[in-house]
Structure 1
Amino acid sequence: MGAVYAQLSAKERVQIERWKLAKVPVREMARVLQRSKATIYREIKRNWFSDECLPGYDGYYGAAAHQKAANRRARQRK
């Protein structure tokens, strides 16, 4: 029987944001959240905020990441 995967929660994403600011290693984030390192790396890469108009605000923001993920899930597929 295959593994069942759960989406990251908003609470987990905010925690990742805090740890990222505190420069906590991804390996430690994954261990505490009981997630794969790849999941954390993918989450940060996929939901990284970047805007040419606001170059000083590039980074990972938990609330924005959760909204982006929700929008991707809600998008209609063909």
Structure 2
Amino acid sequence: GSEFVSWPHLQAEIGTQTWFCDPSSPWQKGTVENTNRRARRWLPRKRDITAVSDHELKMICDRLNATPRKCLGWKTPAEVFREKMMEEMGQRPYPQKE
């Protein structure tokens, strides 16, 4: 779609590689499909998304980010994100026990 028209600029700005799935190939984006399936527990297709409050969306995001994932070594997405951010800042993610 047109939402990705500026991908070369984005790739150059943040210094990452970009990869796009082939159309109609959901097996190429397993994490996205898995997360969509999880979100459907609280947001079924028949539900009017405009009626969902910001508070409810935040609660759904918190649940998704607090669920351990096998692909993350049974860590939660929130834990992995925190670890990566702390690494970028040159700090250890969790204090060392003495």
TM-score under structure 2 length normalisation: 0.24
The structure with the largest alpha-carbon Rg is 2
Higher RCO (C-alpha under 8 Å, 6+ residues apart)? 1
TM-score under structure 1 length normalisation: 0.27
Which has a greater percent of strand? 1
